[in-house]
Amino acid sequence: MRAVAAQAQAVAGEPPVVGCWISAGWSRGLTVDPSRGWVDEAPEPDGIGGLVSVLVARRHRWDKVSVCGYLADVYCLGVKNALGPDIKSEVELSHYVPEYFAAHSDGWQVAPIELAADLVFGSVEYARKLGFEPHVDFAPAAGHLGAWEGPSAITFGKDGKPFYLSGPYDNPRRVMETLQRTVGPSADVDFVIGQAG
């Protein structure tokens, strides 16, 4: 079955996926179409959630993989950071995965590439409606997620509405001004300043 999937990807012009991982707890505050069968392996909700890390590795050559990572704010800002593509050996990748997810207290889980694409591209689409563009490093890394047509099977925002959790590199005033302009000054937007790492 894996050989058939790899062959289908090769025909489509995309290198085969070697691995795809996502931070456990990814679904906190989101509504997900149950027909997709995507399961969040995190324990019971603990904390606010909203920041999801995704890592995708595709075959580069027989002994190398090409790796891209994404940090998505699924409640408001979309892709806050992206890295890659970086070329690594499979041994390097096995050490890199736990390092990449070290900041997530719930750890990480293996995920289908479709979930990764829906989360990342869907968060970008949601953020654009709120007036925010993805991080500039997203463009070179986007191709690792494959083609995405949308719409997303995920309802973004915390419980369906924008929730801004300020990070260390954000400009909170500008973010709130953008939200007031795009969703209205009296819109139902929650925010926490100075909490996200």
**pLDDT tens sequence for the chain (197 residues):** 333 333 334 435 689 999 999 999 999 999 999 999 999 998 666 667 899 999 999 999 888 999 999 999 999 999 999 999 999 999 999 999 999 999 988 899 999 999 999 999 999 999 999 999 999 999 999 999 999 988 999 999 999 899 988 888 888 889 988 988 888 765 566 665 545 44
Question: What is the predicted pLDDT for the residue at 58?
Answer: 97
Question: What is the predicted pLDDT for the residue at 34?
Answer: 95
Peptide bond before residue 85 is cis, with ω within 30 degrees of 0: yes
Question: What is the predicted pLDDT for the residue at 165?
Answer: 85
pTM of the model: 0.87
Question: What is the predicted pLDDT for the residue at 100?
Answer: 97
Q: What is the 8-class DSSP label of residue 14?
A: P
What Rg do the C-alpha atoms of the chain give, in angstroms?
Answer: 17
Distance CA 113, CA 56 (A): 8
b/e sequence 67-87, b meaning 16+ C-beta within 10 Å: bbbbbbbbbbbbbbbbbbbbe
Question: What is the predicted pLDDT for the residue at 92?
Answer: 97
What sign for the dihedral angle of Cα 113, 62, 102, 169? negative
